[in-house]
Amino acid sequence: MEGGGPAIEGVDSQRDPTPLVHNDIHTQNVMIGPCVANPEDTEHYITPILKLIDFGSGGQDLEGDDGYEDMQSNAIIDNLQNIGYIINALAVLNYELDATTADLVTEPGHPGIRTHAAELLPDSNGNDPCPDLDESLRTMICLCRAVQPSNVPQIGALANMIMEHIQERDEEWYGDEYESDEQIAALFQTLLFDANAS
């Protein structure tokens, strides 16, 4: 953050990622913060900041046996798989997902990618359990929950894809009035900030 002001989140391609692993990512360690009052903040003007807490079990993943690159990859993959679990749980409104796996087919005729996000994928009859879930978001969640670590996306590519979607996909792109900034802000206000906590 240059000059101490706000900065857009992103992956710093000039720095090597650290092998830091949280080791305790679950729904009770994710806190919902406020929205940001600055409309130029494309990330958190209408959606709240999420904060990962409780790093008491954190450490460095030093298990890689082929050098530093593997240690970084192991740590990133572990963290992404755990965050993928939380987003998957939020998408299906079930915080105790089973261990069922299914194949995510990204291109017809290509072999599927085995994923733990079976709850997001259509069944053998083509019934979609989450018909309103954005297809790109579904794919990103499934890839983050890939059974084979080599199928988990690279952190930089994933961050770029997310930022592109945030900036390009709006009410007009979806052709849905409920995708407007005002509707999304109202939804967060009703479901999160004004929720009955009793």
- pLDDT above 60: residue 170: yes
| Domain interval for residue 38 | 16-193
Give the C-alpha separation, 149 to 77, whole Å: 7
Instruction: Output the average pLDDT for the chain.
Output: 84
Tens digit of each residue's pLDDT (9 = 90 or more) over 71-80: 557 888 999 9
Distance CA 151, CA 174 (A): 28
User: How far does CA 132 lie from the centroid of its chain?
Assistant: 17
Q: What is the CATH number of the domain that holds 41?
A: 1.10.510
Residue 5 within any structural domain of the chain: no
Q: Is residue 7 part of a domain?
A: no
Q: Could you give the percent of the chain with pLDDT greater than 70?
A: 88
pLDDT-derived band at 174 (thresholds 50, 70, 90) equals confident
Q: Could you tell me if residue 138 is inside a domain?
A: yes
- 48-103, pLDDT tens digit by residue? 888 899 999 988 876 654 444 555 578 889 999 999 999 999 899 888 888 899 99
- Of the candidate ranges 26-35, 39-48, 86-95, the one whose mean pLDDT is the lowest: 39-48
pLDDT band (50, 70, 90) for residue 181: confident
Tell me, what's the pLDDT at 72? Answer: 58
Whether residue 178 lies inside any domain: the answer is: yes
36 exposure class (CB count in 10 Å sphere: 0-12, 13-18, 19+): middle
User: So what's the pLDDT on residue 96?
Assistant: 86
Residue 61 lies in a domain: yes
**Residue 71, number of CB atoms within 10 A of its CB:** 20
Lowest mean pLDDT: which of 33-37, 41-45, 91-95, 152-156? 41-45
Q: Is residue 10 part of a domain?
A: no
- Output the pLDDT for position 64: 55
In a domain, 1, yes or no: no
Angstrom distance (rounded) from CA 51 to CA 29: 8
1: confidence class by pLDDT, cuts 50, 70, 90? very low
Closest CA to 150 of 113, 121, 191: 113
Domains held by the chain: number: 1
Q: Are strands 20-21 and 59-60 parallel, antiparallel or unpaired?
A: antiparallel
Query: Rounded to 10 degrees, what is the CA torsion of 170, 176, 180, 185?
Result: -120
The answer to whether residue 3 is domain-embedded is: no
d(CA 75, CA 72): 5
